[in-house]
């Protein structure tokens, strides 16, 4: 999953960067889903921390942050129990997302990260949602799966106790 996600992200970015003029819109599902080429030199959702933190350089800090995050994810993955399927899938989604955007920041620092998927559902906060790419979608899916894992893991642990859930209330 990780390799496939990374290859899909890199391939779609390359395809869009080669075939779509900067700012040109291709409607896929009317005005709801569109393809538009945007080069993002900032951080998540195009936010530039340099506007708030003097001297902060996204181009210098984020590649380092992405690399550290990728190493931590790989180490964490190695120590997961086989029963933690949601966590396995979540990390298998987050890692290619982190690596895909790291690739853009390292190998194309002048242009930034290629974003190209625009979604506008016609109501806030989705009108429009910030333009994103496959890597961003994978990270988002991975975080949702991770949250689900943490929610369900607590329930599984309670059910696994020999006498059922333990009450923490005092008489």
Please write the tens of the pLDDT for every residue from 34-81: 999 999 886 666 666 666 777 767 667 778 888 898 899 889 888 888
- Write out the H or E segment, with its range, that includes residue 37: strand 33-40
CB atoms inside a 10 Å sphere around CB 95: 24
On whether the CB atoms of residues 88 and 144 are closer than 8 A, the answer is no
In the chain, what are the helix, strand and coil shares in percent, each to the nearest 5? 55, 15, 30
Task: For Cα atoms 66, 130, 145, give the angle at the middle one, nearest 5 degrees.
Answer: 55
Residue 29 DSSP SS3 = strand
pLDDT, one tens digit per residue, over 56-65 is 676 677 788 8
Higher pLDDT, 45 or 89: 89
Q: Determine if the pTM surpasses 0.95.
A: no
Residue 127 DSSP SS3 = coil
Give me the residue spans of the domains in the chain: 2-45+56-158
Q: Which residues are the active-site residues?
A: 115, 136
pLDDT at 158: 61
Dihedral angle sign, alpha carbons of residues 33, 36, 42, 47 = negative
Overall average pLDDT of the 136-161 stretch: 81
- Write out the H or E segment, with its range, that includes residue 11: helix 2-19
Task: For Cα atoms 107, 109, 119, give the angle at the middle one, nearest 5 degrees.
Answer: 95
């Amino acid at each position: 999953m990780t390799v496939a996600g990374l290859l899909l992200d890199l391939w779609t970015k390359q395809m869009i960067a080669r075939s779509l003029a900067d700012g040109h819109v291709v409607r896929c599902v009317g005005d709801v889903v569109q393809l538009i080429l945007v080069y993002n030199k900032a951080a998540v959702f195009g936010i530039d921390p340099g506007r708030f933190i003097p001297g902060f350089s996204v181009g210098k800090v984020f590649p380092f942050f992405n690399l550290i995050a990728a190493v931590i994810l790989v180490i964490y993955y190695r120590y997961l129990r086989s029963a933690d399927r949601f966590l396995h899938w979540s990390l298998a989604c987050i890692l290619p997302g982190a690596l895909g955007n790291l690739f853009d920041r390292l190998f194309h620092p002048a242009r930034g990260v290629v974003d190209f998927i625009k979604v506008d559902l016609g109501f806030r906060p989705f009108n429009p949602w910030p333009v994103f790419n496959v890597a961003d979608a994978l990270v988002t899916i991975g975080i949702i799966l991770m949250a689900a894992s943490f929610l369900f893991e607590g329930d599984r642990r309670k059910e696994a106790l020999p006498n059922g859930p333990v009450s923490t209330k005092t008489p």
